[in-house]
Amino acid sequence: MLTAVALLDEVLDAHAAVFGRDFTAYRNHAYRVFNLCVIQSSGDPEQLEKSAIAAAFHDMAIWTDGTFDYLQPSVTLATNYLVHSGRETWTTEISAMILEHHKISRYRGNPSWLVESFRRADWVDVTRGLITFGLPQSLLHAIFSTWPSAGFHKRLVQLELTRLRTHPLNPLPMVRL
């Protein structure tokens, strides 16, 4: 388990102001998803960087763009970062990681990409370990203890209820089959 990831912290800290009081909640969510993704991958340095970037940006547009229809705006944020940091060759994979992270069914695209590991990681976190994809409960407990929700899951419910009131026919635009 990685408790300090310079790249993840760098990206999150650069956007801290936009999160306001939700910063710790989002940071902890990003760290949980990052670690859950890394545990399911080979963990080579390039995969660690890709996981950190995707974890930082995957839900960010909820706050930067003030929308619950945030997948494409989050991809745009990540793409801008990748171009400016000289990692533009990763754009397609990281975009897929963000666009597919709420997919209900298995990702069947490029098997060498981190998309499926990232999708599973986010589902484990959003369900607070109700869905495990075979990960041991002891590991999940350690991750959830190290980075507590800090109000993240409560905030998601608040945002979902607001979206339901304003878009009753499309309350969860980020979910894909």
26-77 pLDDT per residue, tens: 999 999 999 999 999 988 999 999 999 999 999 999 999 998 889 999 999 9
Whole-number pLDDT of residue 173: 64
C-alpha span between 80 and 158 (Å, rounded): 29
Better-scored residue on pLDDT, 166 or 147: 147
Instruction: Kindly report whether the global pTM for this prediction surpasses the value 0.75.
Output: yes
Q: Quick one: tokens of 24?
A: 């710790």
Give, in order, the Cα–Cα distances in Å from 99 to each of 12, 102, 126. 19, 8, 16
pLDDT band at 164 (very low <50, low <70, confident <90, very high): confident
Examine the pLDDT at 168 and tell me if it is beyond 80.
no
Reported as a single tens digit per residue, the pLDDT across 22-31 is 999 999 999 9
Residues 34, 148, 113: CA angle, nearest 5 degrees = 15
Reported as a single tens digit per residue, the pLDDT across 143-156 is 999 999 998 889 88
Whole-number pLDDT of residue 114: 97
Strand pairing partners for 103? 176
- Domains annotated for the chain, with CATH where assigned, are 6-166 (1.10.3210)
CB atoms near residue 174 (< 10 Å):
19
